[in-house]
Amino acid sequence: MPIAKTSFLRSTALLIIVGALALLAIVATNIWLVGRAQNYFNDVVQARDVRIAAVDLRNSLQDIEAGQRGYLLTGDARYLEPYKSAREEIAAQYEALEKALAPYPQYAGRFRELVTAVDQKIAEMETTISLYQEGRQAEAIGVIRTDRGRRLMDEANLIFDGIIEASDRRTIAGLEDQSAINNAMRWVTILGGLVIVGVVGGAVWMALSYTRELIDARAELETLNTDLEERVNERTQDLIRANEEVQRFAYIVTHDLRAPLVNIMGFTAELDETMKSIQTYVLADGEPLSEQEIKEARTAAAEDLPEAIGFIRSSTRKMDGLINAILKISREGRRPLKPERIDLEALLETTAASVHHQVAETEGEIQIKVDVPEILSDRLSLDQIFGNLIDNAVKYRAADRPIEIKIGAKREPPGRVRIDVSDNGRGISPQDHERVFDLFRRSGSQDQPGEGIGLAHVRTLVRSLGGDITLSSELGQGTTFTVMLPTDVRVFMRRKQN
């Protein structure tokens, strides 16, 4: 039965009030406990400061005594260096210990006793060092043998031990108090949290019960909006890319088809000039001709006319080849795809086998490593794509080294596969990395046969499968073509239809 709106609002308001009171109680209690914990922490810090100051002072006194003994035993002045260094720190350490003991007035008397004992001990050590430096070693040893220095040191150590032990006791007590406070805070937080969880749980349950249908509808709407936005973005990118390709294709076709036409027009004009000499000779009607006119007519018939006709034929063949290449790419773009399960590794090995003898002649090798399961795609398109790429790797090899071709395939999320075809050939200069995919465009020296349609054809095939192709190359080092394809071309076909 649906929850009434009034009942829902009343119950929600009650739960909010209970939760707010519980939260205020938790906050107030925790503030008080934090204050107590801070006091205990301050006690621990003060006790630590007292201990550190006392230990530092005792260590300096011990360093002074060690320096004195070393000097008196060996006469080596180097032992006076730690003696002097520690002696210079005594005054500052007196001040530090007095400051640390300020919160504990009960130690004021003990501090004065400590200072008196330390000063007397230092004075006794300075006296022995002075006597030794004056050459009165026996008197210096005699001062030490009075045992007065040892008694002063024992007295100072007794005071040090008392201060340090008291500091340790305060530290332990402070830590125990902090632990107790932490436990109390933990229990307060746990109990308060349980109350709040109960309140929130009740509120959430009621809200979910009341708004489940609304949430479901909103989720469905958001999913539709997300899918629609993704589709719009994909279509927009496809349209932008298609428009750029159309513009580039139109420019290239216009430019490349115009070249043979210009040649035909030029040689037609030359043919027209040639025909004048021949006409003069043929239409003479028995009138005598000069030797020059006869020579020009014969040269035109024997040389100029065949040359012009030859160039015109060559240009028409060139234009015919360009038109056929354009028609080939156009037909591939319209050919219906036939999705089927394809073992990519087997397909690549079969394609590579067609150039195996050419690679073997250079003592090279082809390595294939495929780490993907079967994919659903168009076999004919894949044969042509990788056949072109492998043929190019062989065709544009580096003459000074064996051919090495590496083909690797691996999964790429979401639902895509990446195939890299790498070679150690002559490479492609950076300014031609994108240009080589254009129709009739080639890179580097034109020492191999071809019209420059191979990579343009490959990119058309790859994009007809819903993928893309890029390259990375360094001139003189080799090239890597990267082909990204969907693992299931049917998904792309459905999106294209929609």
**pLDDT, tens only, 256-271:** 555 566 556 665 766 6
pLDDT of 274-308, one tens digit each? 666 665 656 556 566 667 766 766 676 666 667 76
User: Per residue, what are the HEC states of 324-379?
Assistant: HHHHHHHHHHHCCCCEEEECHHHHHHHHHHCCHHHHHHCCCEEEEEEECCCEEEEH
Of these ranges, 45-49, 166-170, 367-371, 411-415, the one predicted with the greatest mean pLDDT is 367-371
The domains located in the chain, with CATH, are 5-210 (1.20.120.30), 240-334 (1.10.287), 339-497 (3.30.565.10)
Q: Using CA atoms, how far apart are residues 167 and 48, in angstroms rounded to an integer?
A: 7
Q: Which of 104-113, 318-327, 467-476 has the lowest mean pLDDT?
A: 318-327
Long-range residue pairs from 343-349, CB within 8 A, at least 24 positions apart, any chain:
343/374, 344/370, 344/372, 344/374, 344/375, 344/382, 344/409, 344/417, 344/419, 345/370, 345/409, 347/379, 347/382, 347/383, 347/386, 348/386, 348/407, 348/409, 348/419
Average pLDDT over residues 376-401: 91
173/39 Cα distance (integer angstroms): 12
Q: Helix 5-74 to helix 148-282 angle, to the nearest 10 degrees?
A: 120
306 three-state secondary structure: helix
3-state secondary structure of 451: coil
pLDDT digits (tens, 9 = 90+) for 56-100: 888 887 888 788 778 777 877 787 787 778 878 888 888 888 888
Task: Give the pLDDT confidence of 397-441 residue by residue, as tens digits.
Answer: 988 899 999 999 999 988 899 999 999 998 988 888 888 887 666
- Structure confidence at residue 377 (pLDDT): 94
Side chain identity, residue 270 = E
pLDDT per position as a tens digit, 120-168? 888 888 888 888 888 888 887 877 778 777 888 888 888 888 888 888 8
What is the pLDDT confidence band of residue 24, given thresholds at 50, 70 and 90? confident
Structure tokens at 159: 């005071």
Whether the predicted pLDDT of 337 surpasses 60: yes
- What is the helix (H) or strand (E) element at residue 412, kind and residue range? strand 404-412
* Average pLDDT in the chain: 77
Average pLDDT over every residue of 307-312: 68
Joined tokens for residue 153: 């040191």
478 and 423 Cβ atoms separated by less than 8 Å: yes
Quick one: average pLDDT of 189-215?
A: 72
Between 335 and 138, the higher pLDDT residue = 138
Residue type, 490: R
Residues 6+ apart with CB under 8 A from 166: 50, 107
Structure confidence at residue 441 (pLDDT): 64
Lowest mean pLDDT among 109-118, 356-365, 381-390: 109-118
CA distance 1 to 215: 18
The pLDDT of residue 375: 94
Spatial distance between the Cα atoms of 163 and 167, rounded to a whole number of angstroms: 6
- pLDDT at res. 436: 83
DSSP code of 452?
Answer: S
Share of the chain above pLDDT 70, in %: 71
Tell me what pLDDT residue 275 has: 65
Beta bridge partners, 423, equal 405, 479
Q: Return the pLDDT at 417.
A: 95
Predicted pLDDT at 350: 92
Instruction: Please choose, from the candidates 416, 420, 419, 418, the residue with its C-alpha nearest in 3D space to the C-alpha of residue 487.
Output: 416
- Residue 251: band (very low, low, confident or very high) from pLDDT cuts 50, 70, 90: very low
Tokens read off for 134: 């004056």
The span from the CA of 117 to the CA of 270, in Å, is: 124
Using an 8 Å Cβ cutoff, are 384 and 457 in contact? yes
Question: Does residue 378 surpass a pLDDT of 90?
Answer: yes
Tell me, what's the pLDDT at 301?
A: 66
- Mean pLDDT calculated for residue range 487-497: 84
**What is the CB neighbour count within 10 angstroms for residue 426?**
19
